[in-house]
């Protein structure tokens, strides 16, 4: 098991990464769990069938109480305000108070909504993140919580750090291929903003199936370390934390246009990464050809660029102008001066249009 | 104009109290207002008719932009999740971003919901509190934001400090008598937890109409100072901040049983204060007769104790057990060792029952 500690201004906590770690980690929190008046698990209904028992059993044993379970709809649909309110109703019906501890078991979506519930129930109760996807190596760390508004993803939320993150990588073996693609996009992003040798290592694979379990583990730990360092420096996203949004401005627009749940977050980010690199070559000093190299690698890994062909650029621009990093209707992008050196840049609509057209051409070539 | 500064761990801000102060205070924030991409005012629809122009005019002048206005339903009904979502929709439709500044103009309810909207829109935007009631001298300071859940008041919320509080006391002249009662209950509470001479001064009045404008101003400033000192010591209500809930455990139960909006917050708190003092005489060292003195003073001021006669104690106890200060189903009360010396105490159901019965008797006497 590896432990990464995160020190923000308001909270110090650990991220534990390893296989079958629930029991040993929970033991470290025995006192806190026993002092709680209630312990509840919020779990994605699909994940519940696969992994709930593995968490529930040691948790009941160690906390010495019956643990209450609330099942969330699977995936992004759980991030609707209706689910958020249903979680609050459940907590009130159980009789929870500020001395209750909540667990989020599932992928990024359930972590986001449960984090927001924990941050707002009676103005905040402690909670533990137990991610079960590669994607959640990113979202479970750093304290961003959110639900979706019909007009935009993650528009309603808070910064609220968990008490700990328990990342049991043995749960990853049950991931469907789409979820592997989704999660690995964020790993590739972490590599792009931090370390060119790591990028080359990732590009050396022909498919993700070549990656061994040990390599996965090391990539996830590395990704979390990249994120931890950035969150420690800028918890509330006033400066460097924005770099973690590489690929997300265009990616979120693709995700919103396609419809949440129809395309995964990471698949959208993967597309956004290519746009960011195209823009970086044009308006920054990124070496020419890097975007194409990334595009080819992503195609080989199995990412689809069809959504680029399906949406009008005007629709996408509309979503991008509403991005959380934007202001005054400008388009704010994270770009790369070079691999490992991110920067923020205001980009003209015209430049985005050109990058979009370039990616359209490449995407059409794939179909020939 | 008087200025009270509040220094919490995460934010330093000022509370300005005085008559017709909007223009002069906003001038102090000129740069920030001009840098914002949008400025929006959320205003209680009743307050809008009386005071909106007084804020809107200087705000447009000083921010150099058209200010967007969203009207909230008057009173406690604005704290429904539907209003919360409507506020978010409005912000998105206007095209607001993290660089938008929100103003809350109105009483405690609008301050609560707008604060929660500001704390959650894109994970937090700056906001200014402009309270227009006596009650809001309390709620606008200290960063507690909330909406109601059908099963409990203020169950969903956050700790989120405003950028400043602009308390224009000239707005108080339009307050209906019920609102004066509501607000003065919190003033009396601030006196009870801090200063016995202040309590005696308040009890020396026969009606609130004897209080001069200057005296009102000094009481409000004193109340804010009491609150500021406590919030600085314990922003997240882990210890001494709980003292501000004197009268609120039973008070909230009365408010919830009667129905939010049918009885004001302060009217409920006034009833709760008497219960707290009855319990303080019984299980703490508070001088016997103090509760009766308070009861008589409150009756003279015009507070009604009829709700005590209208609700079954079982229903009230049910609500009290769900109070945010509770845990394990115990009843947690703020009590007074003596006036000016609050403490936290777990009180048995039996003691609460006895206090309730005593207050019922007194309340029935009033009707004879």
**Shortest Cα distance from B116 to chain A (angstroms)?**
9
Q: Note whether A124 contacts B158, CB cutoff 8 Å.
A: yes
User: What's B286's DSSP letter?
Assistant: P
Considering only CB atoms, A123 lies closest to which of B121, B122, B158, namely: B158
Instruction: Indicate the pLDDT class of residue B321, thresholds 50, 70 and 90.
Output: confident
Chain A residues with beta carbon closer than 8 angstroms to that of B9: 9-10
Binding site of A, by residue number, is: 108-112, 132-133, 144, 153, 171-174, 186, 248, 265
Q: Note whether B123 contacts A151, CB cutoff 8 Å.
A: no
**Among all residues of A, which ones are annotated catalytic?**
123, 144, 186, 227, 237, 241, 245, 248, 252, 265
Q: Note whether B321 contacts A95, CB cutoff 8 Å.
A: yes
Query: Residue B76: pLDDT above 90?
Result: no
Q: Is B222 helix (H, G, I), strand (E, B) or coil?
A: helix
Comparing alpha-carbon positions, the chain A residue that sits nearest to B118 is A156
Do B250 and B332 meet the contact criterion of CB atoms below 8 Å apart? no
Q: What pLDDT, on a 0 to 100 scale, did the predictor assign at position B262?
A: 85
B138-152, pLDDT tens digit by residue? Answer: 888 999 999 999 888
Mutate which of B98, B120, B123 to test chain A, going by most A C-beta atoms within 10 A?
B123
Binding site of A for Zn(2+), by residue number, is: 186, 248, 265
Give the sign of the dihedral formed by CA B45, CA B47, CA B50, CA B56. Answer: negative
Q: Could you please report the per-residue DSSP string of A189-229?
A: HHHHTT-HHHHHHHHT-SSGGGS-HHHHHHHHHHHHHHHHH
Mutate which of B84, B120, B145, B148 to test chain A, going by most A C-beta atoms within 10 A?
B120
Instruction: Indicate the pLDDT class of residue B327, thresholds 50, 70 and 90.
Output: low
Chain A residues with beta carbon closer than 8 angstroms to that of B322: 92, 95, 97
Q: What pLDDT, on a 0 to 100 scale, did the predictor assign at position A256?
A: 86
Q: Note whether B328 contacts A144, CB cutoff 8 Å.
A: no
Chain B residues with beta carbon closer than 8 angstroms to that of A89: 149-151
Query: ipTM of the predicted structure?
Result: 0.90
Considering only CB atoms, B123 lies closest to which of A95, A97, A157, namely: A157
B94-114, pLDDT tens digit by residue? Answer: 999 999 999 999 999 999 999
Do B39 and B33 meet the contact criterion of CB atoms below 8 Å apart? yes
Q: What pLDDT, on a 0 to 100 scale, did the predictor assign at position B279?
A: 98
Q: Note whether B121 contacts A236, CB cutoff 8 Å.
A: no
Comparing alpha-carbon positions, the chain A residue that sits nearest to B328 is A37
Query: Residue B9: pLDDT above 90?
Result: no
Considering only CB atoms, B324 lies closest to which of A81, A85, A122, namely: A122
Domain boundaries, chain A: 2-173, 186-367
Residues A110 and A117: their CA atoms lie apart, in Å, by 10
Chain A residues with beta carbon closer than 8 angstroms to that of B122: 155, 157, 324
Longest CA pairwise span in chain A (Å): 63
CA dihedral B88, B89, B91, B95 (to 10 degrees): 140
Q: Note whether B157 contacts A81, CB cutoff 8 Å.
A: no
What is the CATH architecture assignment of A186-367? Up-down Bundle (1.20)
Q: Which residues contact B358 (CB under 8 A, 6 or more apart)?
A: B278
Q: What pLDDT, on a 0 to 100 scale, did the predictor assign at position A209?
A: 86
Comparing alpha-carbon positions, the chain A residue that sits nearest to B321 is A95
Do B56 and B71 meet the contact criterion of CB atoms below 8 Å apart? no
Residues B305 and B314: their CA atoms lie apart, in Å, by 18
User: What's B289's DSSP letter?
Assistant: T
Name the token pair of A206: 């022909």
Q: Note whether A155 contacts B10, CB cutoff 8 Å.
A: no
Q: What pLDDT, on a 0 to 100 scale, did the predictor assign at position A306?
A: 95
**Shortest Cα distance from A93 to chain B (angstroms)?**
9
Residues B308 and A297: their CA atoms lie apart, in Å, by 72
Q: What pLDDT, on a 0 to 100 scale, did the predictor assign at position A329?
A: 66
Residues A15 and A165: their CA atoms lie apart, in Å, by 5
**In 3D, which of B158, B31, B17 has the Cα closest to residue B101?**
B31
Q: What pLDDT, on a 0 to 100 scale, did the predictor assign at position A321?
A: 84
Q: What percent of chain B has pLDDT over 70?
A: 98
Question: Mean pLDDT by 10-residue block, N- to C-terminus, for chain A (368 residues)?
Answer: 92 95 98 97 96 98 98 90 97 94 95 98 97 92 93 92 96 90 95 96 91 90 95 90 94 88 91 98 96 96 95 91 70 95 94 96 90
Chain B residues with beta carbon closer than 8 angstroms to that of A157: 120, 122-123
Q: What is the mean pLDDT of residues B5-22?
A: 94
Q: What is the mean pLDDT of residues B28-51?
A: 97
What are the Cα distances from residue B286, in Å, to A196, B244, B276, B298, B351?
70, 18, 10, 19, 15
Q: Could you please report the per-residue DSSP string of A27-95?
A: HHTHHHHHH-S-EEEEEEHHHHHHHHHHHHHHHHHHHTSPPEEEEEPSGGGGGSHHHHHHHHHHHHHHT
Q: What pLDDT, on a 0 to 100 scale, did the predictor assign at position A100?
A: 97
The mean predicted confidence, pLDDT, of chain B is 94
Q: Give me the count of residues in chain B.
A: 368
Q: Which residues contact B300 (CB under 8 A, 6 or more apart)?
A: B206, B207
Give me the CATH code for the B176-367 domain, please.
1.20.1090.10
Same fold, A2-173 and A186-367: no
CA dihedral B118, A163, A37, A39 (to 10 degrees): 100
What are the Cα distances from residue B81, in Å, to A86, A337, B135, B349?
12, 44, 22, 32
Residues B131 and B220: their CA atoms lie apart, in Å, by 12
Antiparallel, parallel or unpaired: β A101-106 and A39-44 = parallel
Mutate which of A8, A85, A119, A123 to test chain B, going by most B C-beta atoms within 10 A?
A123
B172 is in an annotated binding site: yes
Chain B residues with beta carbon closer than 8 angstroms to that of A149: 85, 88-89, 92
B108 is in an annotated binding site: yes
Query: Residue B284: pLDDT above 90?
Result: yes
Chain A residues with beta carbon closer than 8 angstroms to that of B120: 120, 156-158
Considering only CB atoms, B327 lies closest to which of A37, A85, A151, namely: A37
Chain A residues with beta carbon closer than 8 angstroms to that of B325: 98
**Among all residues of B, which ones are annotated catalytic?**
123, 144, 186, 227, 237, 241, 245, 248, 252, 265
Considering only CB atoms, A158 lies closest to which of B92, B120, B152, namely: B120
Give me the CATH code for the A2-173 domain, please.
3.40.50.1970
Antiparallel, parallel or unpaired: β A152-159 and A144-149 = antiparallel
Q: What is the mean pLDDT of residues B158-174?
A: 94
Considering only CB atoms, A326 lies closest to which of B10, B85, B97, namely: B97
Across the A/B interface, how many CB contacts are shorter than 8 Å? 107
Query: Residue B74: pLDDT above 80?
Result: yes
Residues B114 and B100: their CA atoms lie apart, in Å, by 13
Query: Residue B309: pLDDT above 70?
Result: yes
Comparing alpha-carbon positions, the chain A residue that sits nearest to B98 is A324
What are the Cα distances from residue A172, in Å, to A55, A130, B175?
15, 12, 61
Q: Which residues contact B297 (CB under 8 A, 6 or more apart)?
A: B202, B203
Q: Note whether A156 contacts B121, CB cutoff 8 Å.
A: yes
């Amino acid at each position: 098991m590896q432990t990464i500690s995160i020190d923000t201004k308001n909270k110090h906590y650990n991220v534990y990464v390893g296989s079958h770690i629930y029991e040993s980690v929970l033991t470290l929190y025995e006192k806190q769990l026993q002092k709680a008046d209630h312990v509840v698990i919020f779990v994605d209904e699909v994940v519940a069938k696969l992994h709930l028992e593995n968490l529930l059993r040691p948790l009941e044993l160690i906390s010495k109480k019956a643990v209450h379970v609330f099942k969330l709809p699977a995936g992004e649909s759980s991030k609707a305000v209706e689910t958020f309110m249903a979680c609050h109703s459940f907590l009130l019906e159980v009789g929870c108070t500020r001395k209750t501890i909540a667990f989020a078991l599932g992928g990024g979506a359930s972590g986001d909504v449960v984090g927001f519930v924990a941050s707002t129930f009676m103005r905040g109760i402690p909670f533990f993140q137990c991610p079960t996807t590669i994607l959640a190596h990113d979202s479970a760390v750093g304290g961003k919580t959110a639900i979706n508004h019909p007009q935009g993803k993650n528009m309603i939320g808070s910064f609220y750090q968990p008490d700990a993150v328990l990342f049991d990588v043995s749960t990853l073996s049950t991931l469907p291929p789409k979820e592997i693609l989704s999660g690995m996009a964020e790993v590739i992003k972490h590599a792009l903003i931090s370390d060119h040798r790591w990028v080359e290592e990732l590009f050396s694979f022909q498919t993700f199936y070549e990656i061994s379990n040990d390599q996965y583990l090391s990539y996830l730990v590395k990704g979390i370390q990249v994120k931890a360092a950035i969150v420690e420096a800028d918890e509330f996203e006033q400066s460097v934390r924005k770099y973690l949004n590489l690929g997300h401005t265009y990616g979120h627009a693709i995700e919103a246009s396609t419809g949440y749940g129809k395309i995964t977050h990471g698949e959208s980010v993967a597309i956004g990464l290519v746009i960011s690199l195209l823009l970086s070559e044009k308006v920054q000093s990124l070496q020419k050809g890097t975007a194409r190299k990334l595009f080819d690698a992503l195609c080989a890994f199995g990412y689809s660029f069809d959504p680029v062909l399906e949406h009008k650029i005007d629709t996408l621009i509309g979503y991008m102008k509403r991005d959380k990093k934007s202001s005054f209707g400008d388009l704010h992008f994270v770009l790369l001066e070079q691999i490992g050196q991110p920067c923020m840049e205001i980009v003209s609509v015209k430049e985005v249009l050109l990058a979009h057209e370039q990616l359209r051409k490449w995407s059409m070539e794939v179909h020939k």
